[in-house]
Amino acid sequence: MPSVLLSDGARVVTVEEVQEHRPKPAPQMAVLPSVTGELIIYEKVGRLCEVPIAGRLKTKDEVTFLEDFIADAMELSVTERDGTITSGWRIKTDPQPNIHRKDGDSADWMITITLWRLP
């Protein structure tokens, strides 16, 4: 089952049934002339990276951990669906993360969050 892990180093939240949440954005490019007049393509760096994630949490403890991560603006590491681990992520509070109990008799929680970090 495709999942993404969010961790502050001590606690782990497993977001299950995560959709393929993004194509990687193409790098922003600028074409500028050099001092000799030749055109050079530059990649713009230093822009904010944002990643939307939507999925399901299985336990109330994970909901509590996620709420703590949001309230404390914790720096998180993220383990992607393919096993890639990156760090320096935080959860955006605008738009407000959505955490709600799944309809019906399910004990699961549905979430929608946006992660952000500087490159």
CATH of residue 8's domain is 2.40.30
β-bridge partners, 12: 7
Indicate the pLDDT class of residue 21, thresholds 50, 70 and 90: low
Q: How many domains does the structure of the chain reveal?
A: 1
Question: What six digits make up the tokens of 19?
Answer: 């959709």
Helix (H, G, I), strand (E, B) or coil at 52: strand
Task: Give the pLDDT confidence of 23-66 residue by residue, as tens digits.
Answer: 455 566 778 888 898 988 877 666 788 889 999 999 999 999 99
Domain that residue 54 falls in: 3-117
DSSP H/E element including 83: none
- Class of residue 11 by CB neighbours under 10 A (exposed 0-12, middle 13-18, buried 19+): middle
Question: What six digits make up the tokens of 115?
Answer: 């992660």
- Asked if residue 22 has pLDDT above 70, the reply is no
pLDDT at residue 107, as a whole number: 84
Task: Give the pLDDT confidence of 72-111 residue by residue, as tens digits.
Answer: 999 999 999 888 999 999 999 998 999 999 887 788 999 9
